[in-house]
Amino acid sequence: MKTILLIQFALFSAFFGDISHIDLDQNTNNKHTISTYYKWGQVAIKKTKEQYPQAKIIDYFHIGKVSITDYSIEKFRFWIKDSNKEFGVYVDLKIDNATGELIGIKFKETNK
């Protein structure tokens, strides 16, 4: 019985021994993506609160990132409740790829 377990362990280790190394590399990339998403999400929340100071942000969603040669656009969708209505707001943050600074912002309201 012990021999069978040792053989199974040896085979498992031979085939899957490098999995932890691969996972560590992927986790490093994910942490960078999450921290970037978090950073621009916080900026989008702040700018949306400035644009709609009387409204309450109910929810928001990171749509994604569009990369262009000189700049990138981080896209978000907010759901906002004002005193008498609820509505959506698309927020596009334009970011300079060379400096990483915010260079523009666009708001677009929607009923959906």
Query: How confident is the model at residue 33, as a pLDDT?
Result: 60
Going edge to edge, which strands form the sheet with 86-96?
Answer: 56-67, 71-81, 86-96, 102-110
Write the pLDDT tens digit of every residue in 92-106: 999 999 999 999 999
pTM of the model: 0.69
* Residue 90 · residue 76 · CB < 8 Å: yes
Query: H or E stretch including 71?
Result: strand 71-81
Write the pLDDT tens digit of every residue in 42-86: 999 999 999 999 999 999 999 999 999 999 999 999 999 988 899
Provide the token pair at 87.
């509505």
Residue 35 banded pLDDT, cuts 50, 70, 90: confident
